[in-house]
């Protein structure tokens, strides 16, 4: 079976949904950012800080190709992964791809709930954050919408909402 790849903006819920999908289907779950951190023994924010975004995106592309060759897995990608190189075209050729689409308001709620450091969001006021997310959604949707399936995501505030999204993905695989 092809692997399943989840894409979408940061904090949309790719990891939460990916873990649940893997659990329900008995597959291994991988988060591309975590995989990169393990392989290079460095946190993503530190890679950005020390080596810059361009170097990170190259590492990300190489690790995407490595992980996507694993059979029968669920993979969640970083929010920018589909937007660089030929990553989206590659993902569509080797996997079932699902774009988890959310409004800027939903994403802001998820970002506030998130505990992780997000290098692209640091130091932004709530108003700047709102504008930044809206602008990036416009730019990135050109790539995200190339996914084979698009699933709208509301605020993932409880287990029932997560399970409803997982059920939609399972129908599309």
Per residue in 29-71, pLDDT (tens digit) is 999 999 999 999 999 989 999 999 999 999 999 999 999 999 9
Q: In this predicted structure, what is the pLDDT of residue 166?
A: 96
- Which domain range does residue 160 map to? 3-172
Say if residue 104's pLDDT is above 80: yes
What are the DSSP calls for the chain, one per residue?
--EEEEE-STTSSHHHHHHHHHHHHT-EEEEHHHHHHHHHTS-HHHHHHHHHHHHHHHHHHHHHHHHHTSSSEEEE--TTGGGSTTHHHHHHHHEEEEEEE--HHHHHHHHHH--S--TTTTT--HHHHHHHHHHHHHHHHHHHTTSSEEEE-----SHHHHHHHHHHHHHH-
- The number of folded domains in the chain is 1
Per residue in 128-162, pLDDT (tens digit) is 988 999 999 999 999 999 999 999 998 888 899 99
CATH of the domain at 162: 3.40.50.300
Calpha distance 165→153 (Å, rounded): 7
């Amino acid at each position: 079976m092809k692997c399943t790849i989840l894409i979408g903006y940061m904090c949309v819920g790719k990891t939460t949904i990916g873990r649940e999908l893997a659990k329900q289907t008995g597959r291994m779950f991988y988060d591309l950012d975590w995989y990169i951190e393990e392989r290079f023994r460095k946190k993503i924010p530190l890679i950005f800080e020390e080596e810059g975004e361009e170097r990170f995106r190259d590492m990300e592309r190489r690790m995407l190709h490595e992980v996507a060759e694993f059979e029968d897995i669920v993979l969640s990608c970083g929010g920018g992964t589909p937007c660089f190189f030929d990553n989206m075209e590659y993902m569509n050729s080797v996997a079932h791809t699902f774009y988890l689409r959310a409004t800027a308001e939903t994403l802001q709620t998820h970002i506030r709930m998130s505990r992780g450091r997000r290098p692209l969001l640091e130091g932004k006021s709530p108003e700047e954050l709102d504008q930044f997310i809206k602008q990036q959604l416009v730019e990135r949707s050109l790539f995200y919408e190339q996914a084979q399936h698009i699933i709208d995501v509301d605020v993932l505030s409880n287990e029932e909402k997560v399970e409803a999204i997982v059920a939609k993905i399972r129908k599309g695989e």
